[in-house]
C-alpha cells in the first residue's frame, strides 16, 4: 500500500502538563487556573489553520517548575515560561506564524543558557 506524502512539521510544541498531587509544596505547570492552556493552544492552532505544521505535544515535567506553566518550541530550543492564554496567542502569531521569537516571554538566560556538552 502506498502511503501519502507527509511533510515534517514546522514546529513541535512540548507543553508541560504536569500537576502536583494535592498538598505537594513544589509548584507545577498545571493547576486549577492553568489547566485549559493546552486546549486553548490547540483550538487557536486549529482556528488559524496551522494544526499539523505545528504539532502540540503534552509532556511531563521539564525541570523548570518554578517558572511554570512552560512549553518548549522545536526547532530552536525556545523555552517559554509563565504562560497565559494571551501569551500563547502572541507566541502563535509572532513566533509560529511570524517567525520571530517573543523574547520577553522566554526563560531568563541564567536558567537556560547553552546546552551542556556531554560528548566528552
CB of 67 to ligand FES, least distance (A): 8
Cell, residue 41 = 493552544
Q: Is 18 in the site for ligand FES (CB under 6 A)?
A: yes
- Residue in 40, 48, 64, 90 binding ligand FES, rule: CB under 6 A: 64
Contacting range for ligand FES; rule: CB under 6 A; set: 57-65, 77-85, 98-106, 112-120: 57-65
Cell, residue 90 = 502572541
Site for ligand FES in 25-44 (CB under 6 A): 28-29
Listed in order, strand segments (DSSP E) in the chain are 11-16, 54-59, 71-74, 78-80
- Residue in 13, 15, 16, 83 binding ligand FES, rule: CB under 6 A: 16
CB of 2 to ligand FES, least distance (A): 41
- According to DSSP, the β-strands at 11-16 and 71-74 are antiparallel
Q: Is 48 in the site for ligand FES (CB under 6 A)?
A: no
Contact in structure between 94 and 88 (CB atoms under 8 Å): no
Whole-angstrom Cα distance, residue 22 to residue 25?
A: 9
Q: Is 68 in the site for ligand FES (CB under 6 A)?
A: yes
Place of cell 543558557: 113
Site for ligand FES in 74-113 (CB under 6 A): none
Where does the chain have alpha helices with state H? 37-47, 85-91
- Note the residues at the interface with ligand FES (CB under 6 A): 16, 18, 28-29, 61-65, 68, 70
Amino acid at each position: 500500500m502506498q502511503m501519502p506524502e507527509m511533510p515534517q512539521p514546522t514546529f513541535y510544541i512540548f507543553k508541560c502538563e504536569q500537576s502536583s498531587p494535592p498538598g505537594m509544596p513544589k509548584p507545577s505547570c498545571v493547576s486549577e487556573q492553568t489547566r485549559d492552556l493546552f486546549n486553548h493552544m490547540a483550538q487557536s492552532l486549529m482556528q488559524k489553520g496551522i494544526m499539523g505544521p505545528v504539532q502540540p505535544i503534552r509532556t511531563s515535567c521539564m525541570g523548570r517548575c518554578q517558572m511554570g506553566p512552560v512549553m518548549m518550541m522545536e526547532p530552536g530550543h525556545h523555552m517559554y515560561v509563565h504562560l497565559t492564554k494571551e501569551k500563547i496567542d502572541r507566541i502563535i502569531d509572532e513566533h509560529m506564524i511570524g517567525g520571530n521569537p517573543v523574547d520577553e516571554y522566554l526563560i531568563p538566560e541564567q536558567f537556560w543558557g547553552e546546552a551542556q556538552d556531554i560528548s566528552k
